[in-house]
Amino acid sequence: MARTEHLPIYRASYDLCLYLEQVVHRFSRYHKYTLGTDLGDAARRALKLVVRANSQRDRVATLLSLREEFEELKVLLRLGQDLKVFCGLNTFEHAVKQVIELAKQNEGWLKSQRQGQGRNRSAMPDGLAGPSVP
């Protein structure tokens, strides 16, 4: 298994998980077990996808799933803000900024993977690149 601790996206995802656990702890009982559970689960799924992507050779599909997970987190955070479950606007803003920063890092990683695939494929000799697509 590849090491992940050195990746900025891993550290930021881990920090988001910790932050959301602390924030959800202050939700009302009803929202803690509904929206709070969804927020925590989505953040943990994103962290797991970062770990999975780092250990794969072809990361594009996993990074696309990670993109969807971050979009889901944004929607859940917005829903929480509209329902006024956050103890203050700063709490919501901090969480959203973390998710946006993670989404940017993911897009950069995805872009580098897509560019790398094109470069590696064209740099290979014709016989080694695999079957050509008509």
The domain segmentation of the chain, as residue ranges, is: 8-118
**pLDDT for position 126:** 43
pTM above 0.85, yes or no: no
Residue 15 to residue 18: CA distance in whole angstroms: 5
pLDDT digits (tens, 9 = 90+) for 17-37: 999 999 999 999 999 999 999
Tokens 């955070």 belong to: 77
Q: Determine the topology of domain 8-118 in CATH.
A: de novo design (two linked rop proteins) (1.20.1440)
Average pLDDT, the chain: 88
Mean pLDDT over 97-120 rounds to 88
